[in-house]
Structure 1
């Protein structure tokens, strides 16, 4: 059969997780393509997969334009939260969905750009049997419906999409009474759906089923049909640094704070400077995969810390006794096969809400400017006016659920740079890196991971579901 993946472009955090499944399908004899904005084609090619380039090759992706949409305001986010009657924790799920993820979803539903139309026309021509779409690219569901393909979401995080749509459906009458849109995603999809005569229903919004890599204890309860698959870490091909072949003389700890944040914000709040102070003098070896922006406010790199901008985590993890990280799902998952305990950077009790700020120095640490990305586009057009500036909380969106999960599993601890002193952080890092209890917890998580169906195991399941759901001849 023919299988089309769609991904959010130019983000390794969205490309790399799909590669093992795409290769499992390709190795089973199926034709596989990966669709994304043309600027992501080279990244896709490096994985050995064939790209489908979308959009005008003479224009940047929409996130790197002055027309990039800003996040929803806190007032609009809270207006919904009140009507939906959300608990404090549920409000955080809603913030993730409505304030963070609505932005990329809106990018690739736009009918004033060609990406969505290119995707539909490719599906009409190529006639895929199955479309597997990144949750941030719902235009793929329209393309699948038009071409008659079966379609499913690729869920690589907490399913705040299904959670939020279920809450909206439960309170549709209350939302209408309050003058709020009862389904903002459907409204956002309507221009594209109308262009192609497609009816908007739950199946279009949430897929005919979902391919989900998240462990049961970390995933939100929803009413979607899940195909659970093991997350196989993939980080591309890279020559081993010579020192990585050698067994470390002291416990080795990895420090990594993710690929995506450092593309859009300068510095790392007050987090990296404090972590560096906590690491100084510890009888451990630290490998820190940080770039110059993340080290912006660090006064001194300790003697026991080796800084390298990028190293393949699948190479590094087997040599480590612990990993300090930002709580991203992909980074968490890289440690699991190597049975490595976690120290998750998480500020307990701090909301994820993005706050607009009037800031004369918009480049200061911890601020987001829509339309800009370090190393790609760092200045707006002169006539575009001042950019909107948003203050980000000093933690990853997934940090709290991931930290709570590893604590519950006994495979790690929370590193809270705002609540803990340098001395407390130092003691916690050493404890997690040397304690047999944390190592045992990581081994238990590894056993659960091995018990989850592999990408190869789910290929027959996807073949069956594609045959059941596709509509073209």
Structure 2
């Protein structure tokens, strides 16, 4: 078979699909991975063949002038009220409507070259199967335009798309009566679909099935045909870091990792890093902290027991580690889970709602996001007046709530809220997880459940059968 993946141009989206793409490639299928032109080198680095969409020398669509801003908070909450969502459902809706639809809009535009290039390639190459990233849904249009079977590949986050569109569908009459669109995802995709004479229906928006690497305890309750698969931790073909094999000889190794994505878009770290380092200072542990200069802003002295490294693969660190303290990203979480390492997940009580500070007040330090900015690419000004032009966002990762819940449920770790916990309380919690054997037992139980899921090679025959059933 010929198989075409589409992926949002981010390592967080690329790494989860790489093991599945390898499994398909290893049995003889021809695999291509399509993304923004300047992401081709990243795709090649994981041993896959890229399709470089658009101009490889151009900045990504999300960073170009005219990039869409998130919808205003009042509009977001108006929808939530009409759908009668409770507090947890509201947060899922906010993530979909205010956080995820924006990047979707950047890569389905008919006035930019990427989507048209993708459809044109599919019509020429004639893939049998297209597996598309929900944040890069031009893949669904390309599949329909060439007659390929197609499914979604969830990777970086939960299925907020299916979850939210199902709730919109249930409240369709109320939403329409209020003068709001009953399917904003369809609105974004329709111009591209119309341009290629493709009908916009539920199958186009949701895929013919969904490959879902999220464990049962994390996944949202949604309909549709799901193909479960084990998330295999992978962070690229990095050189072996031999020093990690030595490990700590007399003290436990604690790893502090607060994510790679946010530090590219948000200056500082919401006051979280200084508090965590203060709590770790003087403890009888060896700490490896994967932090960069922006995350270390305002910290004059790093504790003696902390070694700061901007980047080291967690897949190499975890086998010699006793505890991972982190921001809640799935790739980070799974690296520890696959090595039976207990975890402390940083999570706050804030809403994910973005907006001006006077509309969406925040606890503690605030992070500011601006559409079209990435430090070192389009804007190196981490301070200055430009910092005040963006959206105030919470100091929590989108996946922190579900993962902190899973760690607590299995007794494999605990939740850390730096905004309400004192340094002493954080230190006591670290000590408790390190010294109490039940956390290691909980981490082993979570590992066994993860191992029980089908591996990437296990689902190859399933994907072959589904493709034969659905392709035209």
TM-score normalised by L of structure 2: 0.95
- Which position in structure 2 is the counterpart of 1:460? 461
Deviation, structure 1 residue 357? 4.9
Equivalent residues in 2 for 1:39-438, closer than 5 Å: 39-156=38-155, 157-249=157-249, 250-347=251-348, 349-357=349-357, 366-378=367-379, 388-438=389-439
Cα distance between partner residues in 2 of 1:3 and 1:133? 11
CA gap 1:387/1:52 in 2 versus in 1, 3 angstroms: farther
149-158 vs 83-92, greater mean Cα deviation: 149-158
Deviation, structure 1 residue 59? 2.4
Deviation, structure 1 residue 135? 1.0
- Which position in structure 1 is the counterpart of 2:361? none
Cα distance between partner residues in 1 of 2:413 and 2:168? 35
Q: Verify the 8 A CA contact 2:38 2:58 in the aligned structure 1.
A: no
Q: Verify the 8 A CA contact 1:273 1:299 in the aligned structure 2.
A: no
Q: Verify the 8 A CA contact 1:356 1:388 in the aligned structure 2.
A: no
CA gap 1:344/1:379 in 2 versus in 1, 3 angstroms: closer
Deviation, structure 1 residue 379? 6.0
Q: Verify the 8 A CA contact 2:254 2:285 in the aligned structure 1.
A: yes
Please tell me the root mean square deviation across aligned C-alpha atoms, in Å. 1.6
Q: 1:80-113: per-residue Cα shift (whole Å, max 9, x none)? A: 0000100000000000000000011101110000
Cα distance between partner residues in 2 of 1:241 and 1:340? 19
Deviation, structure 1 residue 236? 1.1
12-21 vs 386-395, greater mean Cα deviation: 386-395
**Unpaired segments ≥5 residues, structure 2:** 359-364
Q: Once superposed, which parts of structure 1, at least 4 consecutive aligned residues long, lie more than 3 Å away?
A: 385-388
Cα distance between partner residues in 2 of 1:40 and 1:356? 32
CA gap 1:7/1:387 in 2 versus in 1, 3 angstroms: farther
Cα distance between partner residues in 2 of 1:448 and 1:352? 30
Q: 1:244-295: per-residue Cα shift (whole Å, max 9, x none)? A: 1213121101110111101101110110000000000111111111111111
Deviation, structure 1 residue 375? 1.4
Cα distance between partner residues in 1 of 2:62 and 2:325? 30
CA gap 1:269/1:387 in 2 versus in 1, 3 angstroms: closer
CA gap 1:184/1:446 in 2 versus in 1, 3 angstroms: same
CA gap 1:387/1:118 in 2 versus in 1, 3 angstroms: farther
Q: Verify the 8 A CA contact 1:253 1:433 in the aligned structure 2.
A: no
TM-score normalised by L of structure 1: 0.95
Deviation, structure 1 residue 387? 8.0
- Which position in structure 1 is the counterpart of 2:471? 470
Cα distance between partner residues in 2 of 1:405 and 1:47? 30
Corresponding residue pairs, total: 461
- Which position in structure 1 is the counterpart of 2:7? 7
Q: Verify the 8 A CA contact 2:73 2:355 in the aligned structure 1.
A: yes
Deviation, structure 1 residue 365? 6.2
Q: 1:313-333: per-residue Cα shift (whole Å, max 9, x none)? A: 110010110100100111111
Deviation, structure 1 residue 205? 0.4
Cα distance between partner residues in 2 of 1:309 and 1:386? 24
Deviation, structure 1 residue 437? 0.5
Cα distance between partner residues in 2 of 1:434 and 1:319? 16
Q: Verify the 8 A CA contact 2:368 2:388 in the aligned structure 1.
A: no
